[in-house]
Chain A
């Protein structure tokens, strides 16, 4: 109970910080909130297992929360009408490059499989990536770090790379850049699209939801072979 209350307090402080910082990328509530919780744990001299046991209800609730993602996804699915084939092919291409590229690069660098499997779902949104990593035999907390790094880097790299690809400013270009940002940089990318192209933000949200599902599926199937 106490640790759940401390988590809530840390989250509220983190939200306040996030607003004060003008929604700065590196002040994401989940990062600062986690840092505050870790600081509290260090101060109290308690280990993570004690904390994990005390917050079991919170952790269990992420399951129903994950399932609730079906509601926004259902609303965005209407966008698939007319553009279904291009969007789904781009989704498959992006998801496979991200997951397989990560596993390949990690393989070349000789990192342990559990670490590679934690990084592989990094383009997915945090709840989905953590679930995918856990199920495939990776470490959810490491996946969370990779997700944040990918979101921040993806949002930074998107500008120059999309210009280099000559994605134009017209309506089609807007759909391409919004969908790409949502697929690669999940919620951080969606937040950026909300600032730059608010009219097509639903495409970013759709890409985020679809890539989350696709990453969980691809990783689940791959982990059977690896």
Chain B
């Protein structure tokens, strides 16, 4: 029903509807998480619900595409206010610079090697 409205109604109406679907999913996700006391963030529940709905519908309604494309392109702008909080943690970061750098180098290299090695082995085995 909702998916039909998202692809058939007037253009502005469809865009508004698609935007409210995203907002509604955020609220729904938060409500689900609060209700069952899950440790995951509400937005993740919202994302998985939307993913499930897209699989069920078998396609992305044009209106949802119109709304999500600019939102995703400028997601980084929305993050700036949260990243700016780093000013509050300059002390914490400088106190643990060594751990920060060591983790960044060692764990990143290890993750690269494990991921590539696993995938390479499995693909070779499955294509034989």
Q: Which residues from chain B contact A102 at a C-beta distance below 8 Å? A: 103, 107
Chain B residues engaging chain A, CB cutoff 8 angstroms: 19, 22-23, 25-26, 29, 38-44, 46-48, 50-51, 54-55, 60, 64-65, 67-68, 71-72, 74-89, 92-93, 96, 98-120, 122-124, 126-127
Cα–Cα distance between A94 and B117 once the two chains are bound (Å): 10
> Cβ of A16 < 8 Å from any Cβ of B?
no
Do A105 and B80 contact each other (CB < 8 Å), given the known contacts A64-B26, A90-B118, A142-B89?
A: no
Chain A residues engaging chain B, CB cutoff 8 angstroms: 7-8, 10-11, 28-30, 33-34, 37-38, 41, 48, 51-52, 55, 58-59, 61-75, 77, 83, 85-87, 89-91, 93-94, 97-98, 101-102, 105-106, 109, 111-112, 115, 119, 122-123, 126-127, 130-132, 134-136, 139-142, 144-146, 149-150, 153-154, 157-158, 161-162, 165, 167, 172-173, 175-177, 179-180, 183-185, 213, 216-217, 220-221, 223-224
**A176 adjacent to B106 (CB under 8 Å):** no
Q: Which residues from chain B contact A10 at a C-beta distance below 8 Å? A: 80
**A62 adjacent to B75 (CB under 8 Å):** yes
**A131 adjacent to B93 (CB under 8 Å):** no
**A180 adjacent to B119 (CB under 8 Å):** yes
**B71 adjacent to A55 (CB under 8 Å):** no
Choose from A73, A85, A86, A157 the contact partner of B108 (Cβ within 8 Å): A157
**A62 adjacent to B82 (CB under 8 Å):** yes
**A176 adjacent to B103 (CB under 8 Å):** no
Cα–Cα distance between A179 and B123 once the two chains are bound (Å): 12
Do A127 and B116 contact each other (CB < 8 Å), given the known contacts A141-B83, A175-B123?
A: no
**A165 adjacent to B65 (CB under 8 Å):** no
A161 to chain B, nearest CB (A): 5
Q: Which residues from chain A contact B44 at a C-beta distance below 8 Å? A: 66, 131, 213, 216-217
Most chain A beta carbons < 10 A, residue from B22, B98, B127? B22
Do A34 and B84 contact each other (CB < 8 Å), given the known contacts A67-B50, A105-B106?
A: yes
Cα–Cα distance between A50 and B99 once the two chains are bound (Å): 31
B57 to chain A, nearest CB (A): 10
Most chain B beta carbons < 10 A, residue from A37, A67, A130, A161? A67
Q: Which residues from chain A contact B40 at a C-beta distance below 8 Å? A: 135, 216-217, 220
Cα–Cα distance between A91 and B119 once the two chains are bound (Å): 9
Choose from A179, A216, A221, A223 the contact partner of B115 (Cβ within 8 Å): A179
Choose from A139, A146, A165 the contact partner of B104 (Cβ within 8 Å): A146
Q: Which residues from chain A contact B104 at a C-beta distance below 8 Å? A: 122, 146, 149-150, 153
Q: Which residues from chain A contact B93 at a C-beta distance below 8 Å? A: 142, 145
Q: Which residues from chain A contact B46 at a C-beta distance below 8 Å? A: 63, 66-67
B90 to chain A, nearest CB (A): 10
A89 to chain B, nearest CB (A): 6
**B84 adjacent to A51 (CB under 8 Å):** yes
**A85 adjacent to B122 (CB under 8 Å):** yes
Cα–Cα distance between A30 and B126 once the two chains are bound (Å): 41
Q: Which residues from chain B contact A136 at a C-beta distance below 8 Å? A: 39
Choose from A115, A177, A216 the contact partner of B99 (Cβ within 8 Å): A115
Q: Which residues from chain A contact B118 at a C-beta distance below 8 Å? A: 86, 89-90, 93-94
Closest A residue to B85 by beta carbon equals A141
Cα–Cα distance between A115 and B108 once the two chains are bound (Å): 17
Closest B residue to A132 by beta carbon equals B41
